[in-house]
Structure 1
Amino acid sequence: MVTGQQAVWEKLTILYGSETGNCQDLAKIVAWTVTAKVRKASQSLAVQVMPCDDYPIEQLPEERLVLFICSTTGVGEEPQNMKRFWRLLLRRDLPSDSLSQLSFAVIGLGDSSYLKYNFVAKKLHKRLLNLGANSLLELALGDDQHDLGPYVKIDPWLQEFYSQFVLHSPEGNAEEDHLIEPSFSFDFLDDELNKSASSKNEESPSSTTKFDELTPYEATVVANDRVTAEQHFQDVRLLGLAIEEPFRYKLGDVCSVYPENSDQDVETFLAMFKDERLLGGDSSRRRFLMTVRQGCSSWIAKSSYYYHLLRHRNPCSVFELVKRYMDINSIPKRSFFHLFHRFSQNDLERDLLRRFALGTDLDELYEYVNRPKRSILEVMADFPHTTPHVPFHYLLDLIPAICARPYSVASTPATSAHQVDLLYAVVNYRTRLRKPRLGLCTNWLASRTTGDRVRIFLRPSNFALPADHADRPLVMVGAGTGVAPFRAFIHHRAQEGIPANWLFFGCRYQDQDYYLAEEWKQLAERTLLTVFEAFSRQNPDQSKVYVQNRLVEQRELVFRLLIQENGLLWVAGKSQQYPQLVREAIADILKHQMDGDDKQVDDLISRLELRKRIQFECW
């Protein structure tokens, strides 16, 4: 750890690995706050912010100060926008002093209810030290399980971090005095140019062979069938998307979907502003040209979907901007309040919003935003003396871009080369607010009908069958929609005539949410699949039965397939307690069959996980 006299830094690089946006949000707050403080103190500091995978890692040995902010996803895995960075950082040929010039600090955001709590931040901190880097401060770990959220521990740590930059703290509040410069500039077109742009600005995604998060493919809906009973509270659907060359997918791929806001929500949003360019109706069809501002830091990552707008839909109408790009239905994070309160024209509103921004009353913020799951749209409606005064050119810094939602592909190109199937549960629940909370993507997908277009892109998954899978038995443990990737594996292996497939499937009721049951029955009749069902609510007078219970019941079979026949055992479903309970069931099976102690069994499971013989895909 660096101690003693305070260093004078010329540059701060902030790199984040973020799966749900929390680390990205914190990175923006730190960047804005540091910039404000050094400017208030008449100091100079260049601040650079980006996801880990956007950063050219070969420059890391030349850096002097880097703040890493990262989360942990799945079962101890790094976020998607950190995978390449982490893979390169783990290279065995890196010298032990390769980062000796680097001072660093690490913030981890995690959830202590998970088995591998803040695992990525801990691994990163250790790896940087092993490469000779100097730790500026102790590792900071925020716990989402805390009653008031992760910032209870993060905020005091940040005050110590900020003190590394400001040599002489001036009087007054730096955050109040400094307003960041917007990331983009906008020029509205006159009527003639607007008409011309309307006719020319139609993207042709099929004209390229490269499809990614900024150049998605537009697939066509061919099926959207409910697979749970109508009377069941949970609407689960199997979506079929038709695709054409050159778009193709591989077995085990993850398909990410870009949803859209409803027209009603867009009109509600636009109606809150006084700027005539933001009014609803025909005026919102007016188009603008968008450019990246020069000479100032951009707080928006180059991988943000706003850059799709810049590259492919420019000029764009105000209505389209809000509908396709702005995540107005997301729950506002701290950076939203950091910027929002500065535009208020009312002392009471500004004071409350500022308290939210600075975290001076975390309990009040939690009760207002997090507990009821209040959306950005609803928050902005609650502050009528602030929202109308937000300048148009700050909207993209204020409101995050819509993120693509990932789904495991539930089909195989071996039997469905021109169609991608997705299994998804429609999110619809209630809080204390009158209006139900609706998952943006799942409800938008549920409203799609045959012929509608859906913007998608693919990425490979670590949860994919190995090259020699045909020679191995496959044991699959799936609860709920966790069965999606297993459907693809089962169909693929059945097409190749591989019979050694065992599925442990868990749901609530045999007659209500045992989706895909008919498919499993047909495959079982062909002796290509064996299914063990666990219906947790089927018999209310009896103990609940889960997939881990079925595993233990079939301990001799599971042990034979996994250990004696060199098989694969893969688990998919929601995180929290589920993966840990399944792992404990596996440990009980091995301990019982091998008569080993806890350490021997745990070491064996760890080796099997390292060899990808046991894998978890949990979210």
Structure 2
Amino acid sequence: MLPPNAPLTPDQRGRFDALLIELSPDQQSWLGGWLTARTVGAPAVAAAPTASVPLTILYGTESGNSEELAARTAKAAKGKGFKPTVKNMADLAPADLAKSERLLVIVSTWGDGEPPETAVSFYKSLMSEAVDLSKVSYSVCALGDTSYEQFCKTGRDVDARLAELGAKRIADRRDCDVDYEDLYTEWADAALSTLAPAQAATVSVAPVPTAIGSQFGKKNPFPAELLDKVLLNGKGTAKETWHYELSLEGSGLVYEPGDALAVLPVNAPDMVEGLLKAARLNGSETVELKGGEKKVLADALREDFEITTLSKAVLKKLHEVSPSKKLGALISDEGKEDLREYLWGRWIADAIAEFAPDGLSVEALAGIMRKLPPRLYSIASSPLEHPDEVHLTIASVRYDAHGSSRKGVASTYLADLIKKGDTVPVFTQTNKNFRLPESADTPIIMVGPGTGIAPFRSFIEHRAATGATGKNWLFFGDQRFTYDFLYQLEWQDHLKNGTLHKLDVAFSRDQPEKVYVQDRIRERASELFAWLEQGAHFYVCGDASRMAHDVHEALIEAVVSAGGRKRDEAEAYIEDLKKSKRYQRDVY
């Protein structure tokens, strides 16, 4: 059936729905491909041959990109005569792969070299278990971020391990940065063509889809009007956390609690000026962008390029256009520790000033930088409580390093450059791995210090709006009660009206000895374990580097102390929670 906001008359809707009911799944798939091709001006795709060749498409995802690409690959595979089966790494064991003669893997690397949260168990098993995969033909597409040292490590590890276990690589692995569209398409077309039956139709991977019922999405972000912005911290705080309210009216974009909003920022004028000064350019030059578009350099640096984040990948490109013995040593395998120290707090402009003191040509400058990627933020509102709106909770990143002031691109873009009434380019990003329980009666435990509180504001609003009867328990932490109790009045109202049943807070700087949310979890171990035994879902959102790990340890300790388990039994208990989707994390 069509969505309620489909731009059709009631009569058109009725006739279209009636037609869809009569069509088989294959006929619906063909019709969708034909309409897409007709819209973009491409020739209509021929009807797919009968799908008969089994193909397994395996994905491991953190933010949903790998899952989306797996679905797109499956659609293209059907057109080539395959019978594709899409599998999440969370739902199978490495031994299951032996049953798949044809295997395509799409997996992201999360953080600095780690597998996605839902793929950890599969990854560990694959790396340690001996499985005979000699009958499997495969190829891997790895997603990652070149700003991290261990770029695409998970995909590289999986690719190498499959080969070690006897699988035959039929197409080279592709390592994709955050701007992955072109490389992914090349990989998928090459892999499917190699595996395809002789009679397969010529079908390429479809372009990235927009949201159902909407013309807006990743390729065409929606200009969302900023309705309001409120500083959440009190006077005297050391922090700067903003609450933003954006309009989605007329966009057709939809979201659920747990999803994220992608913001496409621009670089601040002082960032652009600093880079131009280091490169010894004035900004009026013309630069050619990917796809052949020509643009004034200053505008391109503001709108199109990632001009601050310094990484090993950037330094390698800089070394190619401006060779330096010192830079060569820094990016060598022996220089890992020195490189890690050098990268902290430095921007691309700093490296250019040091290693290319005579400046760079326009082409050389453009060649060392990647496309400016969108920033994902956990949504802090329920669509039922705030129709046609989306709310965000964002801490502005500002710090000093190497004698200069630094700032986050997107967080200060919103704080400094966007005023009420201005528009922000956005699109919604689904996160199926961070969802409220299906049953409204299920209790939930939420751990969200700092801006990690965002999705839990959405959770509580949604449960209140739907009349959910499950109990809700929130752990929140920040620096000081007086200045940093984000959404304090709202939580107090939820406590009064019974939507929020328990609230535990930890303000680390209000006493000589620092107290964090993990300490509160240990203090409440008995009751927390009792909630888990009653079927509660456990959620964590926030900092991945320390908080998420410390909370995980505290959770294990709670199961040991209150549940009477040994350490290995407690770890198995927590692993079972993960597998049953009762332990979910949204960490960054």
Please indicate the TM-score interval, normalised by the length of the shorter structure. Answer: 0.5 to 0.7
In structure 2, the partner of 1:321 is 300
Cα distance in 2, alignment partners of residues 545 and 268 from structure 1 = 40
Cα offset, 1:396, TM superposition: 4.0
Cα offset, 1:108, TM superposition: 10
In structure 1, the partner of 2:252 is 247
Cα offset, 1:586, TM superposition: 2.7
Counterpart of 2:440 in structure 1: which amino acid?
A: A
The size of the alignment, in residue pairs, is 456
Cα distance in 2, alignment partners of residues 96 and 582 from structure 1 = 37
Whose RCO is larger (CA < 8 A, sep 6+)? Answer: 1
Matched, 1:498 2:501: no
Partner residue of 1:96 out of 79, 95, 98 = 98
Cα offset, 1:616, TM superposition: 1.9
Cα offset, 1:400, TM superposition: 1.3
Cα distance in 1, alignment partners of residues 536 and 236 from structure 2 = 39
In structure 2, the partner of 1:597 is 566
Matched, 1:525 2:496: yes
Cα offset, 1:364, TM superposition: 4.5
- Aligned 1:410-559 pairs, distance under 5 A: 410-431=380-401, 433-447=402-416, 448-466=418-436, 468-498=438-468, 500-541=471-512, 543-559=513-529
Matched, 1:376 2:384: no
Counterpart of 2:300 in structure 1: which amino acid?
A: L
- Per the alignment, do residues 217 and 126 of structure 1 end up closer, same or farther by CA in structure 2, a change over 3 Å counting? farther
- Per the alignment, do residues 117 and 210 of structure 1 end up closer, same or farther by CA in structure 2, a change over 3 Å counting? closer
Q: CA contact under 8 A between 2:288 and 2:295: conserved in structure 1?
A: yes
Matched, 1:356 2:316: no
Matched, 1:606 2:585: no
**Structure-2-length-normalised TM-score:** 0.66
What root-mean-square deviation, in Å, do the aligned CA atoms of Structure 1 and Structure 2 show?
4.5
Give deviations 1:146-182, integer Å, cap 9, x for gaps. Answer: xx9769x99xx9xx9xxxxxxxxxxxxxxxxxxxxxx
Matched, 1:340 2:314: no
Q: CA contact under 8 A between 1:78 and 1:120: conserved in structure 2?
A: no
Give deviations 1:219-247, integer Å, cap 9, x for gaps. Answer: 11111211011311110111111112233
**Which 5+ residue runs of structure 2 have no aligned equivalent?**
1-51, 71-85, 139-145, 161-182, 184-209
Q: Please, which moves more after superposition, 588-597 or 567-576? A: 588-597
Counterpart of 1:379 in structure 2: which amino acid?
A: A
Q: CA contact under 8 A between 1:341 and 1:386: conserved in structure 2?
A: no
Give deviations 1:177-230, integer Å, cap 9, x for gaps. Answer: xxxxxx9xxxxxxxxxxxxxxxxxxxxx99x92433332211111112110113
- Per the alignment, do residues 417 and 127 of structure 1 end up closer, same or farther by CA in structure 2, a change over 3 Å counting? farther
Partner residue of 1:225 out of 222, 230, 241 = 230
Q: Please, which moves more after superposition, 511-520 or 493-502? A: 493-502
Q: What is the SS of the residue equivalent to 2:440?
A: helix
Q: What is the SS of the residue equivalent to 2:239?
A: coil
Q: What is the SS of the residue equivalent to 2:393?
A: strand
Q: CA contact under 8 A between 1:552 and 1:585: conserved in structure 2?
A: yes
Cα distance in 2, alignment partners of residues 572 and 460 from structure 1 = 16
**Which 5+ residue runs of structure 1 have no aligned equivalent?**
1-57, 63-69, 137-143, 161-182, 184-204, 293-309
Q: Please, which moves more after superposition, 240-249 or 253-262? A: 240-249
Q: What is the SS of the residue equivalent to 2:515?
A: coil
- Per the alignment, do residues 475 and 363 of structure 1 end up closer, same or farther by CA in structure 2, a change over 3 Å counting? closer
In structure 2, the partner of 1:164 is none
Cα offset, 1:516, TM superposition: 0.3
In structure 1, the partner of 2:557 is 588
Q: CA contact under 8 A between 1:327 and 1:399: conserved in structure 2?
A: yes
Q: CA contact under 8 A between 2:248 and 2:389: conserved in structure 1?
A: yes
Cα offset, 1:127, TM superposition: 9.0
**Structure-1-length-normalised TM-score:** 0.63
Give the % identical residues: 23
Q: CA contact under 8 A between 2:288 and 2:294: conserved in structure 1?
A: yes
Q: CA contact under 8 A between 1:100 and 1:131: conserved in structure 2?
A: no
Partner residue of 1:212 out of 192, 210, 217 = 217
Cα distance in 1, alignment partners of residues 290 and 525 from structure 2 = 61
Q: CA contact under 8 A between 1:255 and 1:457: conserved in structure 2?
A: yes
